[in-house]
Amino acid sequence: MSVLTWLMSLLMFGGSPKGDDTADIPKTIYEFKVESLDGGTIDFSEFKGKKILVVNTASKCGFTPQYAELEKLYETYKDKLVIVGFPANNFLSQEPGDNKQISEFCQKNYGVSFPMASKISVKGKNMAPIYRWLTNKDLNHYQSSSVKWNFQKYLLNEQGQLVGVFSPGTKPLSDEVVNAIKQ
C-alpha cells in the first residue's frame, strides 16, 4: 500500500495511524472527570498526593462482598488512599441496576462511603475512556491489561502513575494490596 493510499484511507475512515483512537484520551489520571452515582462529578485532580484504587464493581457477583473490605480499606487508609468504584454490567449482566439502585444497594448493604462513579462499560467498543487509559500501556506507561471480571483493581501511586493491577479474586484487605498501599 502506498503512503498516499494509506493517508487517504486514514482521512476517509478516521482513526489514528496506530489503528486506535487514543488521541482524545487524557494523558494522566488527573485529567479525568467522571460522573458520580448521584450525578455529581468525580475530579481525579483532587486526588493528587494520594494513592488511588480503581475498581469495577457489580451488585450480583460472587465478589460483591468485597465492597465490605473495600470500605474497611478506605476507612483505614483514607488519609492517603482514595477508592473509586465503577459499576459495570460487562460480566453476565451482574450489574443490572441503574445509578439510583446501585447507590441504594451500596449504602444499604455495605455503607459505602468512597466515591462511586456512574455505571460504565469496562471493556469492548463502549469501554469508558478511563478504562481505556488504565488498560493501555501506551497511555498508562505501565502495562496493558484486560479487565478479567468484576472487582479487578488498579492501583495508582501518589503521582498518578499506575503501579499495580490486582485480579478480581484478590481481596482488598489481602497482604498484596495492603502492602502496595503502605509503600
Domain positions in the chain are 23-182
State residue 20's pLDDT score.
54
Choice among 61, 163, 173, 178 that is catalytic: 61
Q: Which residues of the chain have pLDDT under 70?
A: 1-21
> What pLDDT is recorded for position 23?
73
Question: Which superfamily, per CATH, for 23-182?
Answer: Glutaredoxin (3.40.30.10)
Which pLDDT does position 24 carry in this prediction?
82
Closest to 27 (Cα-Cα) out of 141, 155, 180, 153: 141
Is residue 106 annotated as a catalytic residue, yes or no?
no
pTM for the model: 0.88
CA distance 111 to 153: 20
Torsion sign over Cα 32, 178, 56, 161: positive
Give CA 79 to chain center in angstroms. Answer: 20
> How far apart are alpha carbons 110 and 11 in whole angstroms?
50
